[in-house]
Copies of this chain bind each other. A is one copy, B any other.
């Protein structure tokens, strides 16, 4: 497990220090903010990873074994492993080995941060249109 596998979140974009209201509509995103937020969306900007996230979220207990996930796709195990790694590096999911199997779960905080960016924007712009 190398150091590059640490999540790329919690790098200091918590809130622009003066952010009162909805991000994306209140004041323009800075170059740094955009550079840290884009990889989060890039992580879920793939049909396979979107379904992986959904499969994990829907699984009972909020956890899913890799073996449960692999069978849902027409892809090889290395490919699924690659996509899980991308999601994990983005901080969207966590994993742990328990005995024979490796389990994955979702990190709601990162998902919430992404939603907080576009959710208020869509609502704020909808009323003024």
The segment from A1-9, A96-104, A107-115 found at the interface with B is A107-115
Complex partner residue of A115 from B55, B108, B119, B128, CB under 8 angstroms: B119
A window 9-29: CB within 8 A of B = 23-29
Instruction: Determine how many copies of this chain the complex contains.
Output: 2
Q: Complex Cα distance A25/B125, Å?
A: 27
- Chain A positions near chain B (C-beta within 8 angstroms): 23-29, 31, 34-35, 37-39, 41-51, 53-55, 57-58, 62, 72, 106, 108-109, 111-112, 114-115, 118-119, 121-123, 125-126, 128-129
List, sorted by A's number, 5 A–B pairs whose CB atoms are closer than 8 Å: A25-B58, A27-B58, A29-B51, A38-B46, A108-B123
